[in-house]
Amino acid sequence: MTYDDQDYLRRLPLLDRVLIGSEELSLRVQQLGNEIGRDYPDSTPLLVCILKGAYVFLADLARCLSVDHEVDFMAVSSYEGGTQSTGVVKIVKDLRANITNRDVILVEDIVDSGLTLSYLIDLLATRSPRSIRVCALLDKTAAREKDVRVDYRGFEIPKEFVVGYGLDYDEKYRNLPFIGVLKP
Ligand code: IMP
Ligand code: MG
């Protein structure tokens, strides 16, 4: 944990603790970037950022990639301001890119029940991409309701509600440089 991380902890009374510090995050994101770079030496994968939660992760991940790639954005909502999945996935913003014959990498902040990703994978598969893979920073495997294959996984975490590094609670805490846990 850096001094900056500790400073945030002191200033935010609702925050319980740091789960993954900013240095640990950046090391792991670099490793994921290296892995992806190795797997796509001669294609130009399309990184699809699942908004809003994945925007911080995508920005850092893209800067760790040494292979050509493109980015696009998709916004879905499955949570209505709380901490429980409703199981209903709504496409709020669709892709601009045509993904036919493209290698697609879905970039997610966190896989929880798996409902969002499995819905998205099924939807995008109907558009005939060459491949679809998933890159998720965090994975709560113990919370899985729907099986999804996570090809690139940053960290497996316990079934706790986390915030920071793009993840929010009621639209707050996205700017934290670390992954933290709120007080119960
Ligand atoms: P799933 O459909 O249950 O897998 O949920 C996926 C989405 O729920 C993620 O993309 C997040 O936006 C949100 N989510 C799940 N767990 C958390 C959490 O612990 N903190 C913040 N958002 C979460
Ligand atoms: Mg999300």
Q: Is residue 89 over pLDDT 90?
A: no
Q: At what angle do helices 22-39 and 55-62 cross, to 10 degrees?
A: 60
Q: Which CATH class is domain 46-154?
A: alpha beta
SS3 28: helix
Q: Which residue has the tokens 């001669």?
A: 42
Domain-wise residue ranges, the chain: 46-154
Percent of the chain exceeding pLDDT 90 equals 84
Q: What pLDDT was estimated at residue 106?
A: 98
* pLDDT-derived band at 5, boundaries 50, 70, 90: confident
* pLDDT-derived band at 88, boundaries 50, 70, 90: low
Q: Is residue 168 over pLDDT 70?
A: yes
Q: Which range among 24-28, 106-110, 116-120 shows the weakest confidence by mean pLDDT?
A: 116-120
* pLDDT-derived band at 81, boundaries 50, 70, 90: low
| Ligand 1 pocket test target in 48, 78, 165 with most atoms within 8 Å of CB | 78
Pocket of ligand 1 (CB under 6 A): 53, 78-79, 85, 108-116, 161-163, 167
Q: How far apart are CA 132 and CA 50, in angstroms?
A: 14
